Amino acid sequence: MAGVGAVDELLIFNQELTPLEVAALNSQFLMPPNSAKVESSDLAAIQSARFEHYLRRHDEPHQAALKELQVLRNDENELVTKVRQIMTMQELDQPRPTFVLKRGAYDARGEEVTANTPAGILSFPADLPRNRLGLARWMTSDQNPLVSRVAVNRFWSVFFGRGLVASVEDFGAQGQSPSHPELLDWLARDFMNNGWNVKDMCRQIVLSSTYHQSTMPRDSKLFAEDPENRWLARGPRYRLSAEQVRDNALAVSGLLVPKLGGPSVMPYQPAGLWEEAGTGKSYNQAKGEGLYRRSLYTFWRRTSPPPTMVTFDATSRETCTARRERTATPLQALVLLNDPQFIEAARVLAEKLIQQHPDTVDMRLQTAFRQLTSRNPTEKETALLSRLYKDQHAIFSAVPANATALLAVGDFPRNDKLNPADHAATTVVIQALMSFDECVTKR
């Protein structure tokens, strides 16, 4: 049975009460008729309460000083809030006992154990402190190649779409064996010898003849015999990550802001998502360059991640994911054709191309194709793009309001001097190219 509460009396005040006012409300702490019977300690408390009440209600210099103090405290809070704080941990002087729990039951203790490292990989040296610093030095020791091998394999997977060890998240007994063990050993050793220089390692990979190969193998039989390219007989080919798809569109259009560092930003996102997710927060869309920062700087709320990123297989970050899966879904095409970020990028690129080639549509379309795919279009592709442009130009010329609506997408200002039908038709062609497989695929 649910309980029932009742309120006998409720008083609401617009300011903090003094102790004397609180006592008066409760008919306590008041001076009795016969003050001679009051204890000296009570009398001192009453006098202190009266003096505080006088200061806070009648003494103007005191009240002015309190206001000044409040302003200073607010300034201090603002200053402290801007300083980022992180949680740190430190070992106890006397570590607590830790036991093996039989069948995982907290009350079924087995033998007592202490912190240690796998002796099968490398025993923990006696001269290292048995704390996090010691563990870090053990992990990066010249005699321990595991960390270097894992790191190098992950770099390799970034550039080739597949690691030398395919299970980049698992180097254990259940992981896959390396396709090129000697290459992995050499890269790991070289990485350590060069002071764990990530930039140097990445440069070495992308300048290799293996990376420079064409995605089309010399022998078509290799597609059937080695579909995963384990033999590295051809160049890498895989769909770009969610962040790369967005950044590539911004970069081609010239909207991408190259500035490094700074706070997170909030680019385009459908309205109301945070409210529907029950976050208790509202999404305040960025303005100006905040809309065009690299995806690295996009603000991420785990309970409501950016929908565009999730559509292209970015994780919600609620749990650690060592390897993303790559999918191909109709929703991805829907995003490329309808997301304001991509429509705006296509519109801005179209405007630049019209200004560069105001009288030659075919030259305009060929330039767009080359910028988006890094190759020149074939005659058949040029004809298809030209036909698409003519069809769209006729549609927008017949209904100018549709052209105006399309060109109004995005905050970046447009050149009103351009013909709306021409601009809108060119924008649609570029949108189609941005959805083309070669524009979202690394090859």
pLDDT digits (tens, 9 = 90+) for 287-323: 999 999 999 999 998 888 999 999 998 888 888 888 8
CB burial of 129-168 (b: ≥16 within 10 Å; e: otherwise) equals ebeeebeeebeebeebbebbbbbbbebbbeebebbbbbeb
d(CA 292, CA 258): 9
The answer, yes or no, to whether residue 434 has pLDDT greater than 70, is yes
> What would the mean pLDDT of 72-80 be, rounded to a whole number?
90
Give me the percent of the chain exceeding a pLDDT of 70: 96
Confidence of residue 40 (pLDDT cuts 50, 70, 90): low
Question: CA 74, 77, 78, 84: dihedral to nearest 10 degrees?
Answer: 180
Confidence of residue 80 (pLDDT cuts 50, 70, 90): confident
- Please classify residue 282 by burial: count the beta carbons closer than 10 Å to its beta carbon, then call 0-12 exposed, 13-18 middle and 19+ buried: exposed
Which position has the higher pLDDT, 253 or 25? 253
CB burial of 96-113 (b: ≥16 within 10 Å; e: otherwise) equals eeeeeeeeeeeeeeeeee
d(CA 229, CA 215): 10
Q: For 78-92, 289-303, 319-333, which range has the lowest pLDDT when averaged over its residues?
A: 78-92
129-188 pLDDT, tens digit per residue, is 888 889 999 999 988 889 999 999 999 999 998 999 999 888 888 888 999 999 999 999
Q: Report the pLDDT value the prediction gives residue 29, as an integer from 0 to 100.
A: 45
Residues in the chain: 443
Q: Which amino acid is at 399?
A: V
378-418 pLDDT, tens digit per residue, is 999 999 999 999 999 999 999 999 999 999 999 999 998 99
d(CA 245, CA 441): 9
Average pLDDT, the chain: 88
The answer, yes or no, to whether residue 57 has pLDDT greater than 60, is yes
Judge if pTM exceeds 0.75.
no
Q: For 41-55, 189-203, 271-285, which range has the lowest pLDDT when averaged over its residues?
A: 41-55
Q: Report the pLDDT value the prediction gives residue 88, as an integer from 0 to 100.
A: 79
Tell me if 154 sits within 8 A of 201, measured CB to CB: no
Which position has the higher pLDDT, 440 or 217? 440
Confidence of residue 30 (pLDDT cuts 50, 70, 90): very low
The answer, yes or no, to whether residue 375 has pLDDT greater than 60, is yes
- Could you write out the DSSP letters of every residue in 334-397? HHHHH-HHHHHHHHHHHHHHHHHSSS-HHHHHHHHHHHHHSSPPPHHHHHHHHHHHHHHHHHHH
Tell me if 192 sits within 8 A of 184, measured CB to CB: no
